[in-house]
Amino acid sequence: MPTAIDVSGTAGLVAVGVFTAQILLGLLLSVGYNPIRRWPRVRGLKLFTFHNWLGYIGLGLAFVHPTILLASSTAGFRLFDVVVPIWSPTQPVPTTLGAVAFYLVAFVVATSYFREAFGRRRWKTLHYTAYAAAAVFFVHGVWADPLLKNRPPDFIDAEKVYVEGCALVVALATYARFKARRGPRGHLA
Ligand code: HEM
């Protein structure tokens, strides 16, 4: 029977995968990639719709991930430790980074929901917060101990290799996106 700590960790790992996919789709959107004219040449495939929904799903998972700890008798987390983990019972620094990442992602999703009120240019500038969020949640994902026992990270553990792989893919794709930029609006011809 998995414990609340196991379920919490799994939700966090799934959230990392969802955000990785979402950032990759965001990068494709920002260079004007057209999946109808190019691979996979499928009509009606809307990158924007996928990107948008992954935002809500990822944010939901990132919310569930620490909240589940409240159901654990061994984790020792109270509601306050989930919202502001500076004094959390274990690993206050990586846990606080996780909370910061959640608030940054919530900011990106909320500003996107109201993006018409900001206007495109200002919204787009705010949307770059997504890169800061990614940097913080990747560090949190590698550093945090899945058993909440304050152990140092094991960088070659399968779960950590998965998070490191996602971080590497996002870093390489971000580099490619900024290299591929053409014209003042950053769209490919
Ligand atoms: C759920 C609401 C969201 C909406 C409606 C949305 C919408 C968009 C749109 C329209 C673009 C393309 C911008 C362009 O044309 O240049 C974009 C790009 C992007 N999005 Fe989102 N997004 C959302 C959430 C997120 C979240 C939560 C993340 C990351 C955690 C994210 C990461 C990105 C990234 C990395 C880009 C590429 C930015 C660039 O370098 O130009 N988005 N998003």
Q: What is the pLDDT of residue 188?
A: 46
**Distance between Cα 40 and ligand 1 center (Å):** 21
Contact yes or no for 54/18 (Cβ under 8 A)? yes
Residue with CA at minimum distance from ligand 1 atom 35: 23
Q: What are phi and psi of 176, to 5 degrees?
A: -65, -40
d(CA 58, CA 46): 18
**Distance between Cα 38 and ligand 1 center (Å):** 21
For 98-121, b/e burial (b = at least 16 CB within 10 A) is: bbbbbebbebbbebbeeeeeeeee
d(CA 67, CA 82): 7
Residue type at 162? Y
Reported as a single tens digit per residue, the pLDDT across 7-65 is 999 999 999 999 999 999 999 999 999 999 999 998 888 999 999 999 999 999 999 99
Contact yes or no for 147/168 (Cβ under 8 A)? no
Q: Quickly list H helices, 31-157.
A: 47-67, 79-83, 92-113, 115-118, 120-127, 129-143
Q: What is the pLDDT of residue 5?
A: 97
Ligand 1 pocket at CB < 6 A: 19, 22-23, 26-27, 29-30, 48, 51-52, 55-56, 105, 108-109, 112, 127, 130, 133, 177
**Distance between Cα 112 and ligand 1 center (Å):** 8
Closest CA to 25 of 55, 56, 70: 55
Which is more confident, 136 or 189? 136
**Distance between Cα 23 and ligand 1 center (Å):** 7
pLDDT band at 176 (very low <50, low <70, confident <90, very high): very high
**Distance between Cα 131 and ligand 1 center (Å):** 10
Q: What are phi and psi of 156, to 5 degrees?
A: -105, 10
**Distance between Cα 170 and ligand 1 center (Å):** 13
Q: What is the pLDDT of residue 184?
A: 52
Least confident window among 6-20, 45-59, 86-100, 173-187: 173-187
Map out the domains of the chain as residue ranges: 4-179
Q: 0.85 exceeded by the pTM?
A: yes
Test site for ligand 1: of 27, 51, 116, most ligand atoms within 8 A of the Cβ: 51
Contact yes or no for 65/101 (Cβ under 8 A)? no
